């Protein structure tokens, strides 16, 4: 989950940088809005797609005979305490931000119950508030002239027609999931600014600039009820007035920047997955290239290479059987299978870079059990003893192995 969240954050950061360098104040509000919305969705989907092809077992690795491990010692596999702490902290932040976002809904319902419904989804307050809209409902104060009210209602109807509240809802969900990402408040603010620029552009097609700007200035000092609502006069009033005096270029062609941007995200996602699947390993030789295979201490022999290999296999089997712990959940569910673990015996005689080359087969229902079994197979090699390294031409060398571990309940 950590890798997924980091990849998603990196994707949103790339979109944000492109927006600041290419789109902001240089394209129409509609083009900018589309780009920012894609920046809230595309980074969440790309890491879920598998871009790398399946990797066959390396030919240079030595495939050892399968080692059968039975239900002798049962151990419940638990997560690392640091991982649990990180997950706990993330969930606390997630819950806190979710409560804050939900508070906006509560404020909206309270205001709606307190206001007087005048029909056509228009609600009026007796006290002074800044006019706003939220999911189809328009809220107005009572101290507006008829001309001002008509301008404000037309403005808020554009927010409703353009479905800006749905954008705000999406941004709230993303900000809650990525509450730890410092860019998100600025990203959401930029999206809301583009909402206002988009509506201002539509309004000026039918309204006079002087009259529209005067209405904005008149309500600019009224109190805002909640940041999630589309207030008629936002704190970016000065920027809005400047943008209204400019001729906004459509520049829809700039969305073509999505192609290299998405390509970069695909490359980043694929590289990350390949790095996780194929960790860096020391250069290793094949068994055919070495003159003497690795040997456990006390098992040295001057016999044939095949006899030396059998001696090594016997010691390896003893280590696997002695260190193996069958996951409790897997044994309770009668889950069996085979894990193929790849590792390297370095020229120093140490076991390095143990990884699951091929895991236990699973269905959607027992994927968790298969992952526990793969973890148990890897854990066998955590305390692997130091051995006498392999040799070639009198020099120690590294050798790669793959050992199948067969889980059996009998």
CB atoms closer than 10 angstroms to residue 174: 21
Contact 15, 261 (CB under 8 A): yes
DSSP 54: P
DSSP 359: -
Please tell me which of 93-102, 139-148, 276-285, 312-321 the model is most confident about, judged by mean pLDDT: 93-102
Q: How is residue 219 written in tokens?
A: 């309500």
Residue 63 in this model has a pLDDT that exceeds 60: no
Identify which of 191, 166, 188 has the alpha carbon closest to the alpha carbon of residue 179. 188
Kindly state the tokens that stand for 242.
């400047």
What pLDDT, in 10s, does the model give residues 35-62? 899 989 988 887 776 554 443 433 345 5
Lowest-confidence region among 215-219, 300-304, 336-340, 373-377: 300-304
Sequence-separated (6 or more) residues with CB below 8 Å from residue 363: none
Distance, CA of 327 to CA of 71 (rounded, Å):
9
End-to-end CA distance of the chain: 35
* Res 9 pLDDT > 70: yes
Q: What is the dihedral of CA 346, 352, 358, 359, to 10 degrees?
A: 150
pLDDT(177) > 90: yes
Distance CA 208, CA 393 (A): 90
Helix (H, G, I), strand (E, B) or coil at 190: helix
- Strand runs (DSSP E) across 321-378, as ranges? 326-327, 337-345, 351-358
- Chain segment 270-327, per-residue pLDDT in tens: 666 555 555 444 466 666 677 888 888 777 666 777 788 888 888 888 888 888 888 8
The CA distance from 231 to 115, in Å, is 16
Calculate the CA dihedral of residues 175, 180, 186, 190 and round it to 10 degrees.
-20
State the pairing for strand pair 132-134/137-140.
Answer: antiparallel
Burial code of 251-263, b = ≥16 C-beta within 10 A, e = fewer? eeebeebbeebbe
Return d(Cα 232, Cα 139) in angstroms, integer: 10
More confident of the two residues 223 and 207: 207
- Residue 216 CA to residue 209 CA, distance in Å, equals 10
Find tokens 């309940």 and name the residue: 409
Phi, psi at 372, each rounded to 5°:
-65, -40
Beta strands in 207-305 (DSSP E): 230-231
- Contact indicator for 11, 234 with CB cutoff of 8 Å: no
Strands 67-69 and 337-345, bridge-based pairing = unpaired
């Amino acid at each position: 989950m950590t890798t997924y969240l980091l990849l998603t954050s990196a994707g949103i950061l790339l979109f944000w940088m492109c927006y600041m360098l290419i789109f902001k104040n240089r394209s129409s509000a509609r083009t900018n809005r589309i780009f920012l919305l894609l920046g809230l969705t595309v980074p969440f989907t790309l890491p879920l797609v598998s871009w790398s092809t399946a990797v066959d077992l390396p030919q240079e690795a030595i495939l050892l005979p399968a080692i059968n491990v039975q239900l002798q010692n049962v151990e419940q596999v638990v997560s690392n305490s640091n991982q649990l702490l990180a997950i706990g902290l993330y969930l606390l932040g997630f819950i806190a931000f979710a409560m804050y976002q939900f508070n906006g809904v509560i404020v909206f319902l309270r205001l709606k119950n307190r206001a007087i419904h005048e029909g056509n989804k228009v609600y009026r307050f007796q006290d002074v508030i800044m006019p706003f809209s939220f999911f189809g409902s328009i809220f107005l104060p009572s101290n507006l002239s008829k001309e001002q009210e008509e301008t404000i209602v037309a403005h808020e109807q554009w927010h409703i027609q353009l479905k800006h509240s749905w954008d705000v809802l999406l941004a709230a969900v993303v900000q809650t999931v990525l509450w730890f990402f410092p860019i998100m408040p600025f990203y959401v603010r930029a999206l809301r600014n583009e909402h206002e620029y988009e509506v201002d552009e539509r309004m000026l097609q039918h309204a006079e600039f002087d009259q529209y700007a005067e209405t904005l200035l008149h309500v600019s000092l009224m109190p805002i009820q909640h940041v999630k609502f589309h207030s008629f006069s936002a704190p970016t009033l000065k920027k809005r007035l400047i943008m209204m005096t400019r001729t906004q270029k459509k520049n829809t062609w700039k969305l073509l920047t999505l192609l290299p941007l998405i390509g970069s995200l695909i490359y980043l996602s694929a590289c990350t997955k390949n790095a996780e699947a194929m960790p860096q390993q020391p250069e290793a030789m094949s068994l055919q290239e070495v003159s003497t295979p690795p040997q456990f201490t006390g098992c040295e022999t001057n016999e044939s290479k095949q006899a030396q290999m059998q001696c090594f296999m016997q010691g390896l089997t003893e280590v696997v059987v002695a260190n193996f712990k069958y996951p409790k959940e897997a044994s309770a569910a009668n889950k069996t299978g085979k894990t193929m673990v790849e590792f390297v015996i370095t020229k120093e005689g140490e076991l390095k870079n143990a990884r699951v080359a091929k895991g236990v087969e699973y269905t959607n229902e027992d994927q968790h059990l298969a992952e526990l079994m793969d973890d148990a197979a890897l854990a066998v090699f955590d305390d692997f003893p130091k051995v006498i390294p392999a040799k070639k031409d009198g020099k120690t060398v590294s050798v790669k192995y793959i050992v199948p571990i067969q889980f059996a309940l009998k």
